[in-house]
Structure formats: C-alpha cells, structure tokens
Amino acid sequence: MLGAIPVNEVTPALVAEALRPIWRKTPETARRTLQRVGSVPKLATAKGLYHRPDPVPPARLILGHQGDEKGHFAALDYDRVPAFVAGLGRLESPSTRALLFAILTASRTRPVLLMERSHLSPDWQTWSVPGPIIKMGKPFVVPLGPVASRIARKA
C-alpha cells in the first residue's frame, strides 16, 4: 500500500492505516515493520527528497497500545532438563549437537553456530568466544565439561 505512494506524500495516517491490520494481531512483526517503514523517510530526508517530520512517532500514537505482551517462551521445568538432555544425547545430528552444546555451555544460538575450531583451546577444555559474534560484543572464555568437549571435537 505505501509502496505506490511517493515518499514525500507519506503521512502518519497512511503509515498507521497500513499497519493497523497487524498492529495487535502480530505485535512484534508490526513493530519491526514500523521500524523499517521509518527508515525510508529518514533516508529520503538525508537525500533531500522528504521534507516532513518523521511519520513514525505520530503513527505509533494513532495506532495506540498493542495490548498485553506475550512475554518470553516458557522454560522447561528444571526437573525435566536431565531427561531432555539425555534424549538429545541419543540423537545424532548437527542440530541436536548444537542445541546440547548451547545448553551445556549456557550459550546463545549465534555464538554456537559461528564457533570455529580456532576458538577452541588445543586441549578442548575452553572455548574463547570472540566479541564480534556475541550480543554484547565483549569476548569471554567458556570452560568445557567432558560432554561439551566431545561435542566440540565433532563440530
């Protein structure tokens, strides 16, 4: 809908109208879409093609509150973790090994998936996670227990 409108004619009302169908139904998608829509007038302003105030803040006011946040995914009850991990250990695939490694090292998905052999110590006892591949950007070292070490050798 907005794609057919010249950028200098985009108004908060048009942005709100475009996002209204998903604003409460899929809040996270709507927020991300609004963020991306907002980048167009900013770029157009930088290029001298857009001469209006940023339409995103008023569009957000027009759309109103998105409703209750869904929150985080439910966690597995701690007393069920051993059985879950044991079940993972019986499966042989790269994805199950990656998940088990992430659980055993309390790591996020991205660093596990981007782990390289050069990040592991020669004795397979530590994993030096480089800053550029983690969320906060600060490198750190993870000690590897016997199972995590065996998984790292297979990677």
Query: How far is the C-alpha of 13 from the C-alpha of 136, rounded, in Å?
Result: 37
For the chain, the distance separating the N- and C-terminal CA atoms, rounded to the nearest angstrom, is 46
Round the average pLDDT of the chain to a whole number and report it: 90
What pLDDT shows up at residue 36? Answer: 92
**Owner of token pair 């397979």:** 124
Mean pLDDT of 143-153: 94
Query: How far is the C-alpha of 83 from the C-alpha of 71, rounded, in Å?
Result: 26
* Cβ 101 vs Cβ 107: under 8 Å: yes
Reported as a single tens digit per residue, the pLDDT across 110-134 is: 999 999 999 999 999 999 999 998 8
Reported as a single tens digit per residue, the pLDDT across 75-105 is: 889 899 999 988 987 888 899 999 999 999 9
Reported as a single tens digit per residue, the pLDDT across 43-80 is: 989 999 888 899 999 999 999 988 766 667 788 898 99
Reported as a single tens digit per residue, the pLDDT across 128-138 is: 999 998 888 89
**Collapsing DSSP states into helix, strand and coil, what is residue 11?**
coil
